[in-house]
């Protein structure tokens, strides 16, 4: 059958039981579950010209499958989430590795026993590694805070090296911070992995959709009870009705085509944009991507290289490692982080979490508190950072709640 695309002006609201805003994992899982398990007629509203949210991928001009909104590697310990996505496509085993470019020398990230030998030389590394094992045990992830808490100058030396050469400059670029502004709580979580396991993730279930993410979403939304309106912004579809003229007055109804919509509304977009930023925009970091195609089989030694001490970009991804494609050419993508200033031309990727920004978000969230049928779900709608598997799990849990 394929995905049923529609134009919102042609939609009969009387034949819609539920509305989902956004077609990433949060929205697409909810649409499928409401239609399949709940028997509901679901309308999906997507402001982009394609489905799949930030997971959208496509073939570039060189025939290389590229991720248009940054690399997405699926990994999870949640068997239900993994089994769910496996319903809709075949998967290939893929264990992601990341290297740091340390002044032209490649070093595994997270920092581990192999990184230790590169940084300190084999003899000193053997001594430091044994000290780590004696203090914390083998095959452990130990944070910088734990290292410094030992009051041992050699363990502090490891912590300082990781901080200066793996963490600091990368974090400054990623978040637009000075060294003084880097939150100590973030620094505290930076680990050394007492292991020779070079994988970036150690989750039980890891892999990539064999034919790409876009076909996965096409199959997920391929259901007779789902119709999808692309190039449609929620703000143009919803007519918000408030309890009073007070700026902080909560919603009394969300109207569609001049009447209240009382079915479930699953909202996965930025909450401040729904309210036309009446309290000001929520702060995010955005990204720019620069693609390069090279007439060679590979440019990098692995899927991703982080530039932790040099360059303006944070990392380079080479997609053929992720997708398993074989080709004479290869496409790489350089990633630049910057402030989120213009919702019309930029994409919000990372919420900038702080007490002040959380309070800012909660002020928007309070506007929806009176509507039992309104469900914000996902990174943007909840102003949180979630991995893909967590979003799938949260969507399935909400579906359980709504349809039983």
Task: Determine the pLDDT at residue 189.
Answer: 76
Task: Determine the pLDDT at residue 182.
Answer: 79
Task: Determine the pLDDT at residue 198.
Answer: 97
Of 37, 47, 16, 36, the C-alpha closest to 264 is: 16
Compute how many other C-beta atoms are within 10 angstroms of the C-beta atom of residue 9. Answer: 8
Q: What's the pLDDT tens digit per position in 183-194? A: 777 777 789 999
**Residues in contact with 199: Cβ distance below 8 Å, sequence separation at least 6, in sequence order:** 95, 96, 97
Name residue, tokens 């085993």.
Answer: 93
Residues 148/135, Cβ–Cβ less than 8 Å: no
Q: What's the pLDDT tens digit per position in 148-171? A: 899 999 999 999 999 999 999 999
Burial of 345 (C-beta count, 10 Å sphere; 0-12/13-18/19+): exposed
Label residues 240-259 b or e (16+ Cβ within 10 Å = b).
Answer: eebeeeeeeeebebbebeee
Name residue, tokens 């997270």.
Answer: 110
**CA-CA distance, 183 to 181, in Å (whole number)?**
6
The mean pLDDT value of the chain amounts to 95
Using DSSP, how many helices (H) and how many strands (E) does the chain show?
Answer: 15, 23
Rounded mean pLDDT of 202-217? 97
**CA-CA distance, 340 to 89, in Å (whole number)?**
34
Q: What's the pLDDT tens digit per position in 10-47? A: 999 999 999 999 999 999 999 999 999 999 999 999 99
Of 32, 7, 17, 3, the C-alpha closest to 229 is: 7
**CA-CA distance, 70 to 333, in Å (whole number)?**
8
Q: What's the pLDDT tens digit per position in 55-113? A: 999 999 999 999 999 999 999 999 999 999 999 999 999 999 999 999 999 999 999 99
Q: What's the pLDDT tens digit per position in 114-141? A: 999 999 999 999 999 999 999 999 999 9
Of 82, 112, 75, 74, the C-alpha closest to 192 is: 112
């Amino acid at each position: 059958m394929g995905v049923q695309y529609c134009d919102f002006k042609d939609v009969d609201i009387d034949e819609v039981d539920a509305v989902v805003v956004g077609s990433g994992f949060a929205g697409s899982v909810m649409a499928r579950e409401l239609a399949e398990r709940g028997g509901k007629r679901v309308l999906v509203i997507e402001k982009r010209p394609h489905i799949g949210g930030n997971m959208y991928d496509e073939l570039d001009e060189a025939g290389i499958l590229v991720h248009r909104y940054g690399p997405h590697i699926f990994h999870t310990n949640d068997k239900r989430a993994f089994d769910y996505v496996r319903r809709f496509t075949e998967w290939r085993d893929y264990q992601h590795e990341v290297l740091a470019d340390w002044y032209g020398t490649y070093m595994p990230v997270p920092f581990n026993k192999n990184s230790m030998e590169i940084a300190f030389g084999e003899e000193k590394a053997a001594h430091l590694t044994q000290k780590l094992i004696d203090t914390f045990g083998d095959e452990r992830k130990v944070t910088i805070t734990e290292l410094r808490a030992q009051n041992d100058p050699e363990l502090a030396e490891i912590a300082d090296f990781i901080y200066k050469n793996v963490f600091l400059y990368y974090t400054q670029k990623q978040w637009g911070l000075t060294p003084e502004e880097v939150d100590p709580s973030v620094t505290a979580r930076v680990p050394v992995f007492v292991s020779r396991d070079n994988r970036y993730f150690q989750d039980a279930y890891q892999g990539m959709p064999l034919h790409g993410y876009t076909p996965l979403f096409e199959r997920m939304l391929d259901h007779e009870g789902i119709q999808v309106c692309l190039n449609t912004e929620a703000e143009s579809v919803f007519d918000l009705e408030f309890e009073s003229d007070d700026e902080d007055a909560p919603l009394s109804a969300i109207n569609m085509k001049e009447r209240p919509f009382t079915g479930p509304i699953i909202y996965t977009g930025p909450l401040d944009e729904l309210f036309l930023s009446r309290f000001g925009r929520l702060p995010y970091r955005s990204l720019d991507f620069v693609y390069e195609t090279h007439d060679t089989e590979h440019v990098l030694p692995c899927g991703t290289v982080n530039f932790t001490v040099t360059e303006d970009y944070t990392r380079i991804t080479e997609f053929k490692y992720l997708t398993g494609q074989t080709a004479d050419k290869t496409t790489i993508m350089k990633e630049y982080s910057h402030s989120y200033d213009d919702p019309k031309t930029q994409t919000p990727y990372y919420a900038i979490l702080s007490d002040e920004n959380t309070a800012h978000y909660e002020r928007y969230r309070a506007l929806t508190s009176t509507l039992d049928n309104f469900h914000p779900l996902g990174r943007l709608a909840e102003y949180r950072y979630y991995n893909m598997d967590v979003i799938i799990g949260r969507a399935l849990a909400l579906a359980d709640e709504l349809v039983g």
